[in-house]
Structure 1
Amino acid sequence: MLEIFICEDDQQQKERITNYIKNYIMIEQLDMRVALSTDNPDEIMDYLQSNQVNGLYFLDVDLKHEKSGIVLGAEIRKYDARGSIVFVTTHSELTYLTFLYKVEALDYIIKDDFTDLQQRVIDCIVTANERLLSDSGEMKKRFQIKSGDKVISEDYENILFFETSSKLHKIIMHTDSRQVEFYGKLKEVEEIDSRFYRCHNSFVVNIENISGIDKKTREITMVNGEVCYSSSRYLKGLYKAWEKN
């Protein structure tokens, strides 16, 4: 999921940008959300320090704060190295500071009467989403499914396990941050990648995200503390595959 952050000290401008983003996400039914819309850069840094984020950031350069938008961008890079940063400013002459602070920017939006702010914001969302889905040209594998009217995309490495749903022909995908229900079969899921191991009639687990296996209770504890189960039939093979991993 792409998380979007707005840091703008002009209340009217902040609300305008936030509404543009929320409306576009809703209309296009994109797998993203506005995580924070604030005038305080410290709130964004507190969030990044507590969460693993794929982010798009709209930052006012001239914040009424001891920390400028450029400095905030440099700090964001320490926690979200591949995040997309957009600077929104009335001071086009300050853009050179991004080079001094080594902040690669996706775009600079100049706040003036001639800027189509809404379209520029939308263009940035589209580009950031494309970057995320292509993983900046890297070969990181992603699991893509249709859930309702949305197409959900998730890195394989973030998936903990899949389980059958109480709803007919549906599966629930558990990740470190969410659960997504979709139509599918566990047999199809286990064949997608070698890290997905069938451990039970109702579960397929990502062996790379197992933190422990209790052979007596057949409980599988994931890296985030969630628990799923193995049947006795699959336990030996699961344990062997996990130890080898």
Structure 2
Amino acid sequence: MLLVYICEDDPTQREYIETYIKSYIMIEDLDAKLVVSTDDPHMLIETVQKNLGSTGLYFIDVNLQTDMNGLELASKIRNIDTMGKIVFVTTHSELSYMTFTYKIEAMDYIIKGNTGELTGRIRDCVEVAFKRYLSDKGEKQDTFKYKVGNKIRTVNYSDIFFFESSSTPHKIIMHLEDTHIEFYGTIKDLEALGGDFCRCHKSFVVNKNNINYIDKSNKQVIMNNGEGCLVSVRGMKNLK
């Protein structure tokens, strides 16, 4: 589901944006939901953290009259939701260049004033964000998502060579071509990936597409990058 967030300190403006988005979602019957509409950036961040892994669309007033302006809020959101779609709504067109300074990669910068134009731009942003959400959803089977700290990362299945249990309890090491990434998880959970992934040992799940050869005498699977992982008798049968 596409989750929509609004942070605007003008109550009249906030209510207008909120009402229009709710109406548009209902009329178009979108798999989307307005989860929070507030003037408190801290409340918004807290809600985003509770919905880690979900796709977010954010409408943010640049000139928030709080201890955190809209650009700072957007920067914090970007650190949590790396794929989120951020839209700035403001009366200060001269501040648009600041989005580059903060490296936010905003989806749009809407200037308040003309109600008709505001409505049209909001509609366009929701429509585009939803299409991208559907596109990402369609590619979900080809990507693996994992959590590091408060961030959700994504890696293509094809880039994964194998997973192994870490010496650190409840952690997994993911082996890519030239790097290792550690995150919380269990081998049992990864076994459920199925498809090109096979549990070849109690401590290893291997991507069959990245196997170079199987060393039966040493009970090892040698990957295309030269790394090896253990394979049990049962795992050998699964790989065959």
Per the shorter chain, which TM-score range?
Answer: 0.5 to 0.7
Cα distance in 2 for residues equivalent to 1:95 and 1:116: 17
Partner of 1:116: helix, strand, or coil?
A: helix
Structure-2 change in CA distance of 1:93 and 1:157 (3 Å): closer
Q: From the CA coordinates, give the structure whose radius of gyration is larger.
A: 2
Alignment of 1:21-32 (within 5 A): 21-32=21-32
Counterpart amino acid of 1:24? Answer: Y
Counterpart amino acid of 1:128? Answer: A
Per the alignment, residue 37 of structure 2 pairs with 37
Equivalent pairs counted in the alignment come to 160
CA drift at 1:117: 1.5
Partner of 1:141: helix, strand, or coil?
A: helix
1:128-163 Cα deviation digits (max 9, x unpaired): 111122229x94338xxxxxxxxxxxx9979xxxxx
Per the alignment, residue 98 of structure 2 pairs with 97
Q: With structure 2 as the length reference, what TM-score do the two structures score?
A: 0.59
Cα distance in 1 for residues equivalent to 2:82 and 2:135: 16
Q: With structure 1 as the length reference, what TM-score do the two structures score?
A: 0.57
Cα distance in 1 for residues equivalent to 2:91 and 2:201: 57
**CA contact 2:187–2:203 (8 Å) conserved in 1:** no
Does structure 1 residue 8 correspond to structure 2 residue 8? yes
Per the alignment, residue 134 of structure 2 pairs with 133
CA drift at 1:242: 8.9
Structure-2 change in CA distance of 1:77 and 1:11 (3 Å): same
Cα distance in 1 for residues equivalent to 2:44 and 2:77: 8
Unaligned runs of 5+ in 2: 147-184, 191-197, 206-240
Identical positions, percent: 45
Partner of 1:64: helix, strand, or coil?
A: coil
Per the alignment, residue 20 of structure 2 pairs with 20
Partner of 1:16: helix, strand, or coil?
A: helix
Unaligned runs of 5+ in 1: 143-154, 159-209, 214-221, 224-237
Cα distance in 2 for residues equivalent to 1:242 and 1:14: 54
Cα distance in 2 for residues equivalent to 1:117 and 1:59: 13
RMSD (CA atoms): 3.0
